[in-house]
């Protein structure tokens, strides 16, 4: 039986989520990849043990994480039952709904019908009475925002989630959602969005500034740009890389010669700082006042330990920040 390390809270930093009472670890573990039915359960166990033993209390899921859809939640439910039940009150568990989940008109987007049914299914898969954070996973251009936010209200009032958040929203839509939820007196505390040195969408669509202005948290995913912000691409595209083998989220034609040149130049800065490129990319996000936590993915426990090292040096000089921006400003 798993017994958590007594030293698990000694090194991790915990950051307040906007103006709420909730704190998240500076590094959170995302179960987007490697926790579905194609993963190895023993490896999932070791990754979660390593994370929790090092103060990572936040585990982030979604209804469609897999493959197959729902399998990451089911595997996490098994982990909870077999190992983590005694530690439930020390954990922040989040899940989401918004993307395609089941056939028919009620298994997608942002209707009240879909969101409430999806969370019920998620709770059953994970064997939980509630999640700490429930997110609407993406903006819905057809469902009225009032309906989607009303679903989040019902979910909180029913006791099935403590807090709510939105994911993949732009700044203006997030502001409208915030206004509705504040009127409903529902604890909307966090945004989850893609953000990295190579992906500045949240800077361009107003989400970053609006998050800070409204006193909300921001948790970032894909901080390493699907692995491009690591030493794996310093010498070209590895044969066993995500770009070569998967192609769903990182296509081979995205790793251009220009991109490879940017990666090498950024790595030079990281070396000068005494960091790996991945550590620097994570530290760059942690240095942002608006960023509450950085979501990492992992395929083995050692990657989690390597990523935690980024907390050791999150201070950047103005020259370093300007150089990073100059190198990456032409990125796609």
CATH architecture of 14-228+277-315: Alpha-Beta Barrel (3.20)
Q: What is the pLDDT of residue 237?
A: 72
Q: Which residue has the higher pLDDT, 161 or 330?
A: 161
Buried residues in 222-259 as b, exposed as e (16+ CB within 10 A): bbbbbbbbbebbeeebeeebbbeeeeeebeeebbeeeb
| Every domain of the chain and the residues it spans | 14-228+277-315
pLDDT tens digits along 152-173 = 999 999 999 999 999 999 999 9
pLDDT tens digits along 79-138 = 999 999 999 999 999 999 999 999 999 999 999 999 999 999 999 999 999 999 999 999
Q: What is the pLDDT of residue 235?
A: 80
pLDDT band (50, 70, 90) for residue 278:
very high
Q: Are 263 and 229 in contact (CB under 8 A)?
A: yes
pLDDT tens digits along 117-133 = 999 999 999 999 999 99
Q: Are 121 and 107 in contact (CB under 8 A)?
A: no
- pLDDT(240) > 70: no
Q: What is the pLDDT of residue 241?
A: 59
Please tell me whether residue 152 adopts helix, strand or coil conformation. Answer: helix
Percent of the chain with pLDDT over 90: 90
- pLDDT(331) > 50: no
* pTM higher than the cut 0.85: yes
pLDDT tens digits along 245-276 = 565 556 667 788 899 999 999 999 999 999 99
Pairing state of beta strands 293-296 and 217-221? parallel
Among 102, 123, 124, smallest CA distance to 113 is for 102
Q: What is the pLDDT of residue 1?
A: 87
């Amino acid at each position: 039986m798993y017994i958590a390390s007594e030293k698990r809270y000694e090194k991790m930093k915990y950051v307040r989520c906007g103006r709420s009472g909730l704190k998240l670890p500076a590094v959170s573990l995302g179960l987007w990849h490697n926790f579905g039915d194609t993963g190895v359960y023993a490896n999932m166990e070791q990754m979660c043990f390593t994370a929790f033993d090092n103060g990572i209390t936040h585990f982030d899921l979604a209804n469609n994480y897999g493959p197959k859809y729902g399998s990451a939640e089911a595997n996490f439910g098994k982990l909870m039952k077999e190992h983590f039940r005694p530690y439930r009150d020390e954990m922040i568990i989040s899940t989401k709904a918004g993307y395609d989940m089941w056939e028919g008109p009620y298994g997608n987007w942002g209707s009240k019908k879909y969101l409430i049914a999806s969370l019920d299914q998620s709770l059953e898969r994970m064997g939980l009475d509630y999640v700490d954070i429930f997110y609407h996973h993406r903006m819905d251009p057809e469902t009225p925002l009032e309906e989607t936010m009303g679903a989040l209200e019902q979910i909180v009032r029913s006791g099935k989630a403590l807090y709510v958040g939105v994911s993949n929203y732009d700044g203006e839509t997030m502001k409208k959602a915030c206004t509705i939820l504040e009127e409903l007196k529902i604890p909307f505390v966090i945004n989850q969005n893609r953000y990295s040195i190579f992906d500045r969408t949240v800077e361009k669509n107003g989400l970053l500034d609006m998050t800070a202005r409204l006193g909300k948290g921001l948790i970032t995913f894909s901080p390493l740009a699907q692995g491009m912000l690591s030493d794996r691409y310093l010498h070209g595209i590895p044969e066993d890389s995500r770009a070569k083998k998967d192609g769903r989220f990182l296509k081979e034609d995205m790793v251009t010669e220009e991109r490879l040149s940017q990666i090498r130049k950024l790595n030079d800065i990281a070396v000068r700082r005494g960091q790996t490129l991945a550590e620097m990319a994570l530290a760059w996000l942690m240095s942002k006042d608006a960023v509450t936590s950085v979501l990492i993915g992992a395929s083995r426990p050692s990657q989690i330990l390597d990523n935690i090292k980024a907390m050791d040096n999150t201070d950047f000089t103005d020259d370093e920040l300007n150089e990073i921006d100059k190198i990456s400003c032409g990125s796609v």
